[in-house]
């Protein structure tokens, strides 16, 4: 087994008297897709916000490539190459694809934005990811479909040379064809060596792409399994709390 790039040991998070994460262990591997599933309110987004440094954990340990790290701010996470693609907040409608992909870290040339270079890099990144449905990188994001928007948001993390890409419900609002397109992109991301963590309520999607499945139930990690060693019925059982995982965690 490869060394995990991310390893959480006993992370806890409370909001006032409410314990939302009750000592959670979680691992993610380079080049692998790990699905994080669980019912509404199980703590998935809270777990991710801790990894993103947006809402630091109250306690527990975070190891990155085996070494303890502190994630107190998004800057800490960004410095390690941890990027989160949020469903809705990801893009600016009034900007084009290139502007969105480089937002906040535009390439400068003699004090002004090097538009030509950014355009080439944006187009090259989309090409690498085999994105063919976007006609021009100078298209405004407002003119893109949901799937294309998600594609641009993911490509943006690739452009940042992310090592860990976290996707919170990337296909929730998408139709069948667009979902297939985004899932294919997620697979290509992993093939390039990126560790992908995907939150999804759609178990069909999960079984299609994930190498590992981790199940949160009321703030506890109740199962971490290889997708090839489990099935839909068992995972639903873990999610709803009617089935207890008996094996050793993957």
Ligand X SMILES: Nc1ncnc2c1ncn2[C@@H]1O[C@H](COP(=O)(O)OP(=O)(O)OP(=O)(O)O)[C@@H](O)[C@H]1O
Residues that bind Mg ion (CB under 5 A): 44-45
- Identify whether the C-beta of residue 203 lies closer than 8 Å to the C-beta of residue 236: yes
Helix (H/G/I), strand (E/B), else coil: 83: strand
Pairing of strands 108-109, 164-168: unpaired
Which of 32, 34, 35, 44 is in the footprint of ligand X by CB under 6 A?
44
Q: Which of 224, 183, 200 is nearest to 7 (CA)?
A: 224
Q: Please identify, among the stretches 42-50, 78-86, 96-104, 140-148, the one whose residues bind ligand X according to the rule CB under 6 A.
A: 42-50
Stretch 20-39: interaction string toward ligand X, x if CB under 6 A: x-----------------x-
Place of tokens 């590992």: 212
Nearest to Mg ion of 83, 96 (CB atom): 83
Q: What is the largest CA-CA distance in the chain?
A: 63
Q: Contact between 235 and ligand X (CB under 6 A)?
A: no
Residue 15, both tokens: 């909001």
Min separation Cβ 153 and Mg ion, Å: 17
Nearest to 239 by CA among 11, 25, 32, 42: 42
Q: Which does 189 bind (CB under 5 to 8 A by kind): ligand X, Mg ion, none?
A: none
Q: Kindly identify the residues of this chain, within the stretch 4-23, that bind ligand X according to CB under 6 A.
A: 15, 18, 20
User: For binding to ligand X (CB under 6 A), which residues are involved?
Assistant: 15, 18, 20, 38, 40-46
């Amino acid at each position: 087994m490869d060394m995990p790039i991310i390893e959480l040991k006993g992370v806890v998070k409370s909001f006032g008297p409410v314990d939302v994460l009750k000592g959670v262990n979680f691992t993610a591997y380079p080049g692998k897709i790990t699905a994080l599933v669980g019912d509404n309110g199980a703590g998935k987004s809270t777990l991710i916000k801790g990894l993103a440094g947006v809402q630091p954990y109250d306690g527990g340990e975070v190891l990155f490539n085996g070494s303890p790290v502190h994630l107190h701010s998004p800057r800490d996470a960004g410095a390690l190459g941890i990027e989160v693609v949020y469903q809705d907040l990801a893009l600016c409608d009034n900007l084009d694809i290139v502007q969105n992909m480089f937002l906040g870290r535009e390439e400068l040339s003699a004090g002004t934005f090097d538009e030509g270079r950014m355009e080439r890099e944006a187009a090259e990144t989309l090409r690498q990811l085999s994105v063919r449905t976007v006609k021009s990188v100078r298209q405004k994001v407002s003119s893109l479909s949901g799937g294309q928007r998600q594609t641009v948001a993911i490509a943006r993390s690739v452009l940042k040379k992310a090592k860990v890409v976290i996707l919170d419900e990337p296909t929730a609002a998408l139709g069948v064809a667009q979902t297939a397109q985004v899932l294919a992109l997620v697979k290509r991301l992993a093939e390039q060596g990126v560790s992908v963590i995907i939150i999804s309520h759609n178990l069909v999607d999960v079984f299609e792409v994930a190498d590992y499945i981790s199940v949160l139930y009321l703030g506890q990690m109740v199962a971490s399994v290889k997708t090839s060693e489990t099935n839909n019925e068992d995972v639903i059982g873990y999610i709803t709390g009617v089935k207890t995982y008996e094996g050793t965690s993957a």
